[in-house]
Amino acid sequence: MAVKLWSPKGDMDDGSTFLSLTSGHTCIIPHDKEGVEVPLRFRKEAIARGCIPVGMEEEADEAGGFDRSKVIRDNIKIMLEDDDSANFTTDGKPAIDKLAKLCGFQLARSEVNREWDAMMKEDGDEAVEVLNVTSEPKGKK
């Protein structure tokens, strides 16, 4: 059965969603309401990443449902509260493998960077404190 999906807000600059499986297969789902036929192996990940079947736009808007961006941000905050430098890369950004484990779905570095950068720009009560994760050489103080 052919299933057409489209990406309402993807992780690429043009709104498309880039999918990459551990098998090495990749797929791009365009930001176009006409959609594209998506092979079976990508469907579960595409839906988890917010892609919508063609013709179901109205239902998806009414349902509200899953907010991927909020889940990512909430789990980044958990990582910050944990105060463990292993949760972050040497440049201070969230480690994708640890964040994906918390979120329960695969992540692209571009979407994590986008959420992280947005969190860094926020002002007010929810502003995020940047951690310094560089370590001192062993044996020197």
pLDDT in tens, 2-61: 778 888 877 777 888 888 888 889 998 888 888 888 888 888 888 888 888 887 754 444
pLDDT in tens, 91-101: 889 999 999 88
Q: What is the pLDDT of residue 125?
A: 44
Buried b or exposed e, range 7-44, using 16+ CB within 10 angstroms: beebbbeeebbbbeeeeeeebebbbeeebbebeeebbe
Greater model confidence, 57 or 69: 69
Q: What does the CA dihedral 73, 75, 76, 79 come to, rounded to 10 degrees?
A: 160
Greater model confidence, 81 or 132: 81
Cβ distance 31 to 15 under 8 Å? Answer: yes
